[in-house]
Amino acid sequence: MSQRRPLRRQVSDVPLGRAPFVEPPVTQEDNFLPHLDSWVLDPLEEHEKKSASRILEACPAHRISDGARTFTGDLLGAEVLLVEEGFLVVHASPPLARRVVVAEAGPGSVLLVPSNREHLQALTECWITPLPPARLEDLLAMPGTATALFQGLGNALRLRQDAASHFGSVRHVDRVREKLLQLARQFGRVSPEGIRIEFPLTHDLLAEMVASARETVTRALDELQRSGFLVRDGHSYRLLISPEALNIPG
């Protein structure tokens, strides 16, 4: 399971949907200060941390409200995005095809700016740090930050490769099971009762993650619940498995 910075505030489970008309999907705030709080700074030696902090001071963080959508036009000038807090997904809407989730991200993730056919959707309140090309180049010039960014991109690539392998399963219930295991491994919280996926997970969202119809996913979840693999836990799910089943520490 990846290392995650604790959330700064209690987040609420909000049904997915368009951002409220009265509130823009992205707001620039000073509640999260990347030059002090970004996960990129955590592994750095003191001298490099000071240099990276000065670079990040020119990169204001943005808050994405829970349930809100963010499009490429909201992030003009950015090359990559650092996910600092919260959980979000990247939706793709191909022409003449169903909408699918092409990436999931939590604290410590690095994402490319969405294309014209993609958008971000926050599953909880999120903070992201957009990096323009010049600031990204400055950070990549330092070994410690280059390593941290490479690891973030590597984790994102591994998630996408693993997700693509799920489509080799002919049975939809197997696709759903493998996706839930992946989400638990990457975004789960271990408890004595199992491993809880730490963001709201609806049947519609899970269907978009495995490229299946919602009704098919509902039947698969019913089957997995009857088999004792999972239970509903609030707006998400808890897998009734041990951490050892995912090769993660308890």
Residue-wise pLDDT for 16-48, tens only, equals 333 333 344 555 545 899 999 999 999 999 999
Are 102 and 72 within one domain?
yes
Return the CATH number at 206. 1.10.10.10
3-state secondary structure of 223: helix
Are 189 and 67 within one domain?
no
Q: Other CB atoms closer than 10 Å to residue 207's CB: what's the count?
A: 23
Are 76 and 120 within one domain?
yes
Are 161 and 46 within one domain?
yes
Are 142 and 199 within one domain?
no
Domain count along the chain: 2
Q: Is residue 104 part of a domain?
A: yes
* pTM for the full predicted model: 0.82
pLDDT tens for each residue of 57-90: 999 999 999 999 999 889 989 999 999 999 999 9
* Length of the chain as a residue count: 250
Are 158 and 176 within one domain?
no
Are 158 and 181 within one domain?
no
Residues of the domain holding 39 = 26-166
Q: Tell me the DSSP string of 30-73.
A: SSS-HHHH-GGGTT--HHHHHHHHHHHTTS--EEE-TT-EEEGG
